[in-house]
Structure 1
Amino acid sequence: MPRLRLAVPDDAEQLRNLIRLSTQTLLARMLSAQQVAESHRFMTLDTQLIEDRTYFVAAIGDRLAGCGGWSRRATDYGGDTADRRDPRLLDPASEPARVRAMYTHPDLTRLGIGRMILESSEAAARSEGFSQVLLFATVGGEPLYRACGYRELSRELDGSVPIVRMIKDIA
């Protein structure tokens, strides 16, 4: 079973590689080549999550098996280069925390890694007073989130890439 820990700045390059490999490989099963290429515009590492100590790494030995986390900030999704970043701190009494940037190594899917990261993220958000979590899922991640109790709020497009906005009560 993978060991879960908080990501540190020294993980950044490995995380970027994992995110790109996961996106390139797993989304290619569901999206066109153009959509996968377009997804790389916003499916990148958000180092603010590492700085905030809200981003997890699942490791098997020295190998990264998966990553993901949560945020107390208003950014919905997107990495350091995304134009939609919003560093405003959320109000736990009236706003949902964000589940962010969940990726699994393509060779290690369906082993519970994503669920482990998701449950740890929800527990951390709950411990800071949040009663709901909001996420923006890819079509690849949507089945996991549904199985974990998330409900769909809307379906959107980021360019041509389909995104599913989902929410869950965690109180």
Structure 2
Amino acid sequence: MIWIILATLAMVFVAGFQLLTAGSRHAVQRLSKRLQLPPVQVESMTAMMGKEAAKEFTDYLSHDNETHLHNGAAVLLIWQVLIVDGSEENRQRWHGILSRAGFPALISRQQLLLALGFLRQLEPDSQELHALREQYNAHVSSQKVELEGEFTETSKLVSLSEWRRRH
């Protein structure tokens, strides 16, 4: 009889935990799925944020809004590129991840301020992050110009709107 009571309590505890964390898990999975990353990438950032900031971040992502998802991806980019690993390879990787997901790869000032708010427990130096943001954006912009030059010189790609005008 005691085993049945203990098993019931364990099941109630597990079910309660699943219900209480469903929103945050859904938000993390939504961002991870959009970026085509394992959820551990986002979960490790939220673990470093601290409990209060992580809840704010997942609540922010819970809004079914493309802008919130884009800003969440930018916060993850800032954390990965500007705080965790600022190497050139990592910058290239995250630029590709955001591009594949359909998000602009440039980091706006507002996104940086949002990231500073969510990552406040880590106490990042805002001056340093602003400088790194400018450097990152300049690097991404120069790559974009180089790629556009390649397409205009060697490719015969036609935009859909141009094709429709012709036909």
Q: TM-score, normalised by structure 2?
A: 0.31
- Find the structure with the greater CA-based Rg: 2
User: More helix by proportion, 1 or 2?
Assistant: 2
Q: TM-score, normalised by structure 1?
A: 0.30
